[in-house]
Amino acid sequence: MKQFLVSLLCVTLAVYTNAQNADSTWFVNNYVKKEYKIPMRDGSKLFTSVYMPKSTDEQHPILLSRTPYSCAPYGENNYRTYWASHYLKYAKLGYILVTQDVRGRWMSEGTFVDVRPHNPNKKGTEFDEASDTYDAIEWMVKNIPNNNGNVGVFGISYPGFYSTMAALSNHPSLKAVSPQAPVTDWFMGDDFHHNGAFMLMDGFTFYSSFGKPRPQPTTEGPKGFPFPTNDMYSFFLRTGALTNFSKLFGDSIQFWKDLMNHPNYDAWWQARNPRNFTTNVKPATLVVGGTFDAEDCFGAWETYKAIENKSKNTDNRIVMGPWYHGQWAGRNGETGDKLGNVRFGQPTSTWYAENVEIPFFEYHLRGKGSVKNIAEATVFFTGENNWKTFTQWPPSNVKPTAYSLRRGGGLSTMVPMIAPYATWDSYVSDPQKPVPYTALPYGRRTREYMTDDQRFAASRPDVLTYTTPALTEEITLAGEVVANLFVKLSTTDADFVVKVIDVFPDSFSYAGNKTYEMNNYQMLVRGEVMRGKFRNSFEKPEPFVPNKPTQVKFTLPDVAHTFQKGHKIMIQIQSSWFPLVDRNPQQFMDIYKATDKDFIKSTIGVFHNQSKIILPIMK
């Protein structure tokens, strides 16, 4: 049997490799690559790679991605591996594929600014990312041979931010835009902050390389921080306060300094929130994201909602699958049928490409087919593992339902008649022993933690756990979860992490899966952190009054999940999530200026009955 499996694996790899070789050969034989330096209105030139079909039988649409991550490989004889994802299908349809280094990155001229603020009132040679997109499109439609005058823009993550900015350019040739996992609000919910809490592991790891200055155009990328160990929990813990991490960086990384100097949601942060500018969007938009995207799940949901609320006449749609960051692109044969230990029962990435993204651009850029089958909201519901379509999001038949925390670890819609603040559970939050975000030490922030087994956390004394009885009927959640906690602290600040968990039955297993024990699995469905001092205002933080009952209310990003009959709904509450989130000193202060001696223990009480988790139950 072992020899058979080895032989089967070799055959599978050979088939995949041969398919890739055939696809790459086709692409190189049918496409020509050109490199241009496209002038902007201020005179700066942006490096742009253009892959054009050799066929001149028809005029071709342009599909553009603007990126700070490089349009490598450089050189007109070096081809990007478009054939290793579903982007090959665009090539087969004859699209002109364009990638551009944004201003100040890699081979483009100018100065780079992270999440450069949008300026809706530009004059003369003033520029922003929207105007850079406008100028790039203007040049392309006039200078790229055999283009049909229709342009689409898409991109994942930071390129998703540039896609949103493209939508604000309103160039008449820009017909369709797809911001995918778009960086949207780096203080409220994307990448580097969630509800004001600093996402330490991502922030430090990312900016140790990405943030290094690039004084001149270059094809060479920067190197990241040389971690001395693969045990990130130990490394981040022993490094200590954020001021120590700043010392490791020195004085060269500007955006890290900006992060450290803007601890509150001030005007500097608000200017970097694209949601403030999503009015009068002209092109059709397709917002794409993953419900298990550790980086920019928030950005996808919130970009769609912002366009819906502020640009009523825009043809605006959203698709959310059960994906990690960018999984829907189908790179290197990724089909989107699983994440970590959890299985989804179908190739979700493949389905999305064939039924949503490609038809969207085909209709708007080539006038082919129809978008009638692309719903306002197309969302994959885990648990039941089905795609659902809606005429609005959240769905109209969702009823917010409050589940109260009960003495003894229960979770119920029934609230017993007892005096307010009469009973509570408590735990000691110790910054020297923070709750880890996942069970095992890893040398990177894992993407799989978004569906990880939470049994390791449930056994800790500094994690509170509340669970329903086994469900007698399925319960489907569709929309935002609201955590409405009433707490008391022995100190003047603390963080609150709330996790919504699907507890699988004792008898549960996936057919053919022997890699992990799934019975009684505690699947993380959604988790989120709230920095307590921001409970009333993100602009003006407030200390807690020690031992005074205090409300802490916040939302978790939208959920699309069905708890099947026989499963249980579990809520976990804790005050650290390390090193995913930086440690709170648990004293009211500017945490970015804290030193190691500022971190103290806090005894935290969470009141029963008054504390509720409000679930968006679809009827």
CATH superfamily of 398-618: Galactose-binding domain-like (2.60.120.260)
Rg (CA), the chain: 25
pLDDT at 1 (0 to 100): 37
User: What does the alpha-carbon distance between residue 528 and residue 273 come to, in Å, rounded to a whole number?
Assistant: 20
Query: What was the pLDDT predicted at 257?
Result: 97
Residue type at 116 in one-letter notation? R
Q: Which two tokens stand for residue 200?
A: 């330490």
Q: Quote the DSSP letter at residue 471.
A: P
* Predicted pLDDT of residue 20: 65
Q: Do domains 2-185+272-390 and 398-618 have the same CATH topology?
A: no
Model pLDDT, residue 204: 97
- Closest CA relative to residue 202, chosen from 191, 212, 194, 210: 191
Sheet holding 31-39, edge to edge: 31-39, 45-53, 96-101, 60-67, 147-156, 174-180, 284-290, 316-321, 377-381, 386-390
Any idea where the domains of the chain sit in the sequence? 2-185+272-390, 398-618
Please report the pLDDT score of residue 19 as a whole number.
53
* Per-residue model confidence (pLDDT) at position 492: 98
Nearest CA among 88, 172, 170 for reference residue 131: 170
How many other CB atoms are there within 10 angstroms of residue 282's CB atom? 18
- Residue 227, Cα to own-chain centre: how many angstroms? 24
Show the low-confidence residues of the chain (pLDDT under 50): 1-18
For the domain made up of 2-185+272-390, the CATH class stated in words is alpha beta
Angle among Cα 390, 503, 322 to the nearest 5 degrees reads 35
